[in-house]
């Protein structure tokens, strides 16, 4: 039975949670009603369920509710406590019947982040590939060092000039970022701090074939990813030049297929309705399964924070 009513659960004091809810509501089909009484809801959706705050907000008893699901766009610890859609879920946690990956609806669907990223424009290709991004993790630093001498590649570290999620966005840098993706035959899309990458979905939207680098990334359900993208292991960045050389003749076809996949599954006309179908399927979990998940979540939370503490201690002694 299609979802017709939603009870939203979000934190007004959290920008990410509140913005995710607002974007989801704006993009929801017109026949969807957001209700104030949870008893009237077909689904109860937790917006941005990525930390222990969800347990404090809901309590363990409410977590057993079989209508309760989650969506989360954050890059932080993404163990799927609730069935739902987690943009940066690691493949070790992903299960297409319970919790899976998706695209960034609040950032992408209405270009809330980059106003120049508005779709396909036929553009002369000047570069074999491009990557303009922050060297804030070792993987990205290796991309710059490994490919820096390749001819006709455009690589630029935007560590101090281009920021997705705060007010320090340089309009010129945003426009340049989009132009370079349009002018490239392929777009290198490494993971960020989380398993996913906004750049991947922006490249699809702009009609440029993505080269995806991220060993823990899980491809969202729906698109035929192999038809328009390549996956490269984090340890095999040096293979990218040969990969591009062997597939240059396909870049236009792949770019158009990438654009078509974006429009079909992740555009503002389709992203929420597509998400709701998956969330409805995920919600059919019995209470004992949720109980086991809560226990796993608490265990993994402890392990995660111990690793974070260990990393900080190592850093302080350097």
Q: Tokens 């299960």 map to which residue? A: 95
Mark whether 187 and 253 lie in a shared domain: yes
Contacts of 157-162 with C-beta under 8 Å, sequence gap 24+, read 157/133, 158/132, 158/133, 158/134, 159/134, 159/135, 162/132, 162/133, 162/134
pLDDT at residue 32 is higher than 90: yes
Q: What percent of the chain has pLDDT over 90?
A: 48
Range name among 52-61, 176-185, 268-277, 286-295 with the lowest pLDDT average: 286-295
pLDDT at residue 132 is higher than 70: yes
Phi/psi of residue 186, nearest 5 degrees:
-135, 150
CATH number, domain containing residue 255: 3.40.50.2000
- Residue 186's pLDDT is 98
Tokens linked to 210 = 């993505």
Asked if the structure places residue 117 within a domain, the reply is no
Asked if the structure places residue 41 within a domain, the reply is yes
pLDDT band of 6, cuts 50, 70, 90: very high
Mark whether 193 and 291 lie in a shared domain: no
- Residue 169's pLDDT is 63
Strand order in the sheet with 184-190: 153-157, 127-133, 184-190, 209-213, 230-232
pLDDT at residue 125 is higher than 60: yes
Q: Give me the mean pLDDT over the 50-73 stretch.
A: 75
pLDDT in tens, 146-184: 999 999 999 988 766 655 555 556 778 888 889 999 999
Range name among 56-70, 114-128, 194-208, 302-316 with the lowest pLDDT average: 302-316
The C-alpha atoms of residue 85 and residue 195 are separated, in whole angstroms, by: 14
Tokens linked to 91 = 């493949």
Mark whether 47 and 161 lie in a shared domain: no
Mark whether 260 and 152 lie in a shared domain: yes
pLDDT band of 131, cuts 50, 70, 90: very high
Burial class (CB in 10 A: 0-12, 13-18, 19+), 86: buried
Mark whether 135 and 27 lie in a shared domain: no
Q: How many CB atoms lie within 10 A of CB 318?
A: 4
Q: Helix, strand or coil for residue 43?
A: strand
Largest pairwise CA distance in the chain: 61
Tokens linked to 146 = 């490994």
Q: Give me the mean pLDDT over the 197-220 stretch.
A: 95
- Residue 23's pLDDT is 87
Q: What percent of the chain has pLDDT over 70?
A: 82
- Residue 224's pLDDT is 97
Mark whether 139 and 258 lie in a shared domain: yes
The C-alpha atoms of residue 317 and residue 21 are separated, in whole angstroms, by: 41
Domain boundary at 221, 239, 264, which?
A: 264
Domain count, the chain: 2
DSSP β-ladder status, 33-34 and 5-9? parallel
Mark whether 135 and 248 lie in a shared domain: yes
pLDDT at residue 142 is higher than 90: yes
Asked if the structure places residue 163 within a domain, the reply is yes
Q: Give me the mean pLDDT over the 47-69 stretch.
A: 73
- Residue 51's pLDDT is 52
Strand order in the sheet with 84-86: 33-34, 5-9, 43-47, 68-72, 84-86, 99-100
- Residue 298's pLDDT is 66
Asked if the structure places residue 118 within a domain, the reply is no
Mark whether 99 and 166 lie in a shared domain: no
Q: Give me the mean pLDDT over the 206-216 stretch.
A: 96
CATH number, domain containing residue 80: 3.40.50
Torsion-angle region of residue 119: left (phi > 0), alpha (psi -120 to 50) or beta? Answer: left
Asked if the structure places residue 179 within a domain, the reply is yes
Mark whether 104 and 132 lie in a shared domain: no
Asked if the structure places residue 102 within a domain, the reply is yes
Mark whether 56 and 86 lie in a shared domain: yes
Question: Are 213 and 146 a contacting pair, CB within 8 Å?
Answer: no
Asked if the structure places residue 120 within a domain, the reply is no
Residue bearing the bigger pLDDT, 249 or 294: 249
Closest CA to 87 of 23, 6, 141, 41: 23
Domain that holds residue 62: 5-108+271-316
Domain boundary at 264, 282, 307, which?
A: 264
- CA distances in angstroms from 262 to 92, 106, 201, 273, 294, listed in the order given: 25, 15, 7, 14, 34
Mark whether 180 and 90 lie in a shared domain: no
Asked if the structure places residue 121 within a domain, the reply is no
- Residue 148's pLDDT is 92
Domain boundary at 232, 247, 264, which?
A: 264
Tokens linked to 38 = 């949870």
- Residue 213's pLDDT is 97
pLDDT in tens, 229-284: 999 999 999 999 999 999 999 999 999 999 999 999 998 889 999 999 999 988 87
Mark whether 221 and 293 lie in a shared domain: no
- Residue 55's pLDDT is 63
């Amino acid at each position: 039975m299609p979802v017709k009513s939603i009870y939203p659960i979000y934190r007004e004091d959290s920008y990410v949670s509140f913005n995710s809810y607002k974007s989801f509501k704006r993009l929801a089909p017109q026949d969807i009603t957001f209700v104030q009484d949870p008893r009237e809801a077909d689904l109860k959706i937790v917006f941005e369920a990525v930390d222990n705050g969800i347990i404090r907000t809901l309590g363990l008893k409410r977590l057993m509710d079989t209508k309760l699901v989650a969506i989360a766009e954050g890059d932080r610890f993404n163990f799927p406590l609730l069935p739902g859609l987690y943009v940066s879920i690691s493949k070790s946690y992903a299960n297409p019947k319970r919790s899976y990956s998706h695209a960034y609806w609040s950032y992408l669907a209405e270009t809330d982040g980059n106003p120049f990223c508005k779709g396909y424009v036929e553009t002369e290709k000047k570069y074999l590939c491009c990557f303009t991004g922050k060297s804030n993790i070792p993987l990205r630093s290796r991309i710059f060092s490994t490919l820096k001498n390749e001819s006709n590649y455009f690589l630029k570290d935007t560590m101090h000039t281009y920021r997705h999620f705060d007010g320090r966005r340089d309009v010129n840098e945003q426009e340049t970022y989009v132009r370079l993706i349009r002018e490239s035959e392929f777009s290198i899309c490494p993971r960020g701090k989380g398993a996913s990458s906004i750049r991947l979905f922006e490249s699809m939207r702009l009609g440029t074939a993505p080269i995806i680098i991220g060993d823990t990334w899980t491809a969202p359900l729906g698109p035929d990813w192999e038809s328009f993208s390549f996956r490269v292991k984090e340890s095999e960045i040096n293979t990218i030049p040969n990969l591009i050389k062997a597939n240059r003749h396909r870049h236009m076809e792949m770019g158009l297929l990438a654009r078509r996949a974006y429009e079909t599954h992740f555009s503002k006309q389709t992203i929420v309705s597509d998400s709701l179908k998956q969330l409805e399927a995920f919600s059919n979990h019995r209470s004992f399964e949720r109980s086991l998940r809560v226990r796993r979540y608490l265990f993994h939370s402890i392990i995660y924070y111990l690793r974070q503490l260990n990393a900080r201690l190592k850093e302080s002694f350097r």
